[in-house]
Amino acid sequence: MRTVKIFDTTLRDGEQSPGASMNVEEKIQIAKQLVKMGVDIIEAGFPIASPGDFEAVKRIAGEVRGATIAGLARAKEEDIKRAWEAVRDASRKRIHTFHSTSDIHLKYQFRVSRAEALKRSVEMVRYARSLVDDVEFSPMDATRTDIPYLIEVVEAVIAAGASTVNIPDTVGYTTPLEFGSLIKAIKEKIGDRAVISVHCHNDLGLAVANALAAIYHGAGQVECTINGIGERAGNCSMEEVVMNLATRKDFYKAKTNIRTKEIIRASRLLTRITGIPVQPNKAIVGANAFAHESGIHQDGLLKEKLTYEIMRPEDIGLKQTELVLGKHSGRHAFKTRIKELGYELTPDEVETAFEKFKHLADQKKDIFDEDIEALVSEGVAKIPELYSLVDLSVSSGMGVRPTAALKLKVKGRTVDSVEHGDGPVDAVYRAIVAVTKTKSRLMKFEVKSITGGTDALGEVLVSLEEGSRKARGQGADTDILVAAAKAYVNALNKLAAKKR
């Protein structure tokens, strides 16, 4: 089985997404994560584009080990020299140079003939090859280029020293059948004299499909980005190509060096740095990619995951499949969620709660664990109270260190605690932790109004450090701090029930 190289251009083409600019430190973070993933080549930037881009490429070349570091350059001597200066400290370095070849670009943008474009491409590849051993050339707008001329350029730059020839679908124009045929024709001409790479844009939503068609017909490298970011509609999505090859080895007879369990971490790191969210229904890394609401699907998954999942969420770094409860869900999924929340119900109680759930699902778009717990607690079942709030007083203000005096009943015995904190809520929660001797960690704190009056719902999410258990707690009181304490205690009781 052959190995397809992954050339990640998140830091170069990906950064051309509107609003996706990254500073140098952020680019280094991304580059280090790409190495953890096992990316073969990192296109760190376009050194001549700006001093910031040059610095980023130079620092990545000097500080990041484990992948080839590439710098992009137009087919101009000054660009190539600048790229060389940026990547020269890398343990493995590449210069990636390009020149347009389509008649549209040559006539309207460059205003040069085919012969001139060919001559310049060859000269600049030869110059780059004098500086580094690893040179890649891209005939820009290749998919709108006359095929005989394209092949002539490809063969000429290989003869000049290019070890990789990249065939870019610069404007996302081609289709899988057409692109596959093009790659096959080039492969038949050049054989193993150079690696054929592909760089597909997503203007028609076909970037991944085109890249996979190219792999099927002999491409040995794919240029892609995390989350598929990039200018206009984006680039070929790295995680989609990787998981296609991992899932369908039987068809493509190809694999990558990517450590797939790092995929979700890379996706979320990029989202955090750029602020560009991933659409929920995005393949592989979208919030709904491993979420199931249909009752038929949920029933099948609970019996055997292979029924409706072709990949394991663990393979990309997620913990587990998410069963989303909604109006399409069935009893099996509902009963499973109730158990996960720590409740043990009789068949009659399950039926009562399920009827209420279906009624609520018709009225409400999203059903959360809090909603399920509210349904269950409304006369159906109660979680045993290991802890209960007896009394609470809090002092705080300008110039006063927040202090909480707490009385909590633990297994029927009242225990007192006085604790200080950074704020009044922090003091209350420190007191609760001191009394209960739990190792819980506050994940979320939200205050909202139950009605239009002054009643408040303090809602927190608490998880134990030694396990993956999570629970939401609810509490209501006209005093926000009392409501917050009730919510925390409520969540601890649920965690205790889950442990039992």
Q: What tens digit of pLDDT does each residue of 58-104 get?
A: 999 999 999 999 999 999 999 999 999 999 999 999 999 999 999 99
Is there a domain that residue 333 lies in?
Answer: yes
Over its C-alpha atoms, the chain yields an Rg (Å, rounded) of 29
Q: Which of 331, 356, 377 is the last residue of a domain?
A: 377
User: What average pLDDT score do residues 353-366 get?
Assistant: 68
Domain tally for the chain? 3
Amino acid in the structure at residue 169: D
Mean pLDDT of 11-17: 84
What whole-number percentage of the chain has pLDDT above 90? 51
Judge if 214 and 335 occupy the same domain. Answer: no
Q: Report d(CA 465, CA 247) in Å as an integer.
A: 34
Helix extents (H) in 38-160:
51-63, 77-87, 103-105, 114-131, 147-160
Share of the chain above pLDDT 70, in %: 79
Could you identify the residue written with the tokens 């597909």? 200
- Judge if 392 and 372 occupy the same domain: no
**426: CATH:** 3.30.160.270
Is residue 7 included in any domain, yes or no? yes
Is the domain of 194 the same as that of 305? Answer: no
Q: Please name every residue paired with 235 in a beta bridge, in sequence order, or none if there are none.
A: 201
321 and 219 assigned to the same domain: no
Write out the residue range of the structural domain in which residue 352 sits.
Answer: 291-377
For residues 368 and 457, membership in a common domain is answered with: no
Indicate if 256 and 157 belong to the same structural domain.
yes
Specify the pLDDT at position 10.
Answer: 95
In a domain, residue 259? The reply is: yes
Interatomic CA distance for residues 342 and 497, integer angstroms: 5
3-state secondary structure 251-308: HHCEECCCCHHHHHHHHHHHHHHHCCCCCCCCCCCCCCCCEECCHHHHHHHHHCHHHC
Last residue of a domain, one of 218, 249, 274: 274
Does residue 286 lie in a domain region? no
Structure tokens at 74: 């137009």
Is 479 part of any domain? Answer: yes
The tens digit of pLDDT for each residue in 257-266 reads 999 989 888 8
Phi then psi dihedrals of residue 51, to 5 deg: -60, -35
Lowest mean pLDDT among 53-62, 265-274, 337-346, 488-497: 337-346
* CA-to-CA dists, residue 135 to 60, 151, 161, angstroms: 19, 18, 7
Reported as type and span, the H/E element at residue 89 is none
Quick one: which of 362, 359, 354, 430 has its CA closest to 394? 430
Give the distance from CA 500 to its chain's centroid. 34
Task: Identify the pLDDT of residue 293.
Answer: 43
Q: What is the pLDDT of residue 207?
A: 97
Residues 356 and 398 in one domain: no
Q: Is residue 426 part of a domain?
A: yes
39, 156: one domain? yes
Q: Is the pTM of this model over 0.75?
A: no
End position of a domain, from candidates 377, 396, 418:
377
Q: Is residue 139 part of a domain?
A: yes
Name the nearest CA neighbour of 143 among 191, 189, 100.
100
| Per-residue pLDDT at 216 exceeds 60 | yes
Predicted confidence at residue 412, as pLDDT, reads 83
Residues 6+ apart with CB under 8 A from 3: 254, 255, 256, 257
> What's the CATH number where 174 sits?
3.20.20.70
Structural tokens at position 492: 């601890």
For residues 384-390, give the mean pLDDT.
Answer: 83
Dist. CA 200–CA 235, nearest whole Å: 6
Matching residue, tokens 């770094």: 317
Considering the domain architecture, whether residues 351 and 262 belong to the same structural domain is answered as: no
- For residue 449, pLDDT over 70 is answered with no
Element (H, E) at 138: strand 135-140
Shared domain for 155 and 237, answered yes or no, is: yes
Model confidence pLDDT, tens digit, residues 175-201: 999 999 999 999 999 999 999 999 999
Does the pLDDT at position 413 exceed 80?
A: yes
Provide the CA 228 distance to its chain's centre, in angstroms.
10
Report DSSP letters for 31-43, one per residue: HHHHHHHT-SEEE
Region at 83 (left for phi over 0; alpha for psi -120 to 50; beta for the rest): alpha
* pLDDT 10s digits, 468-478: 667 767 676 66
280 domain residue, yes or no: no
Of 67, 88, 253, 95, the residue nearest 164 (C-alpha) = 95
Is there a single domain that holds both residue 119 and residue 266? Answer: yes
Same domain, 266 and 346: no
Burial of residue 400, with CB atoms counted within 10 A of its CB: 0-12 exposed, 13-18 middle, 19 or more buried: exposed
Confidence at 486, pLDDT banded by 50, 70, 90 = confident
In this structure, which amino acid lies at residue 461? L
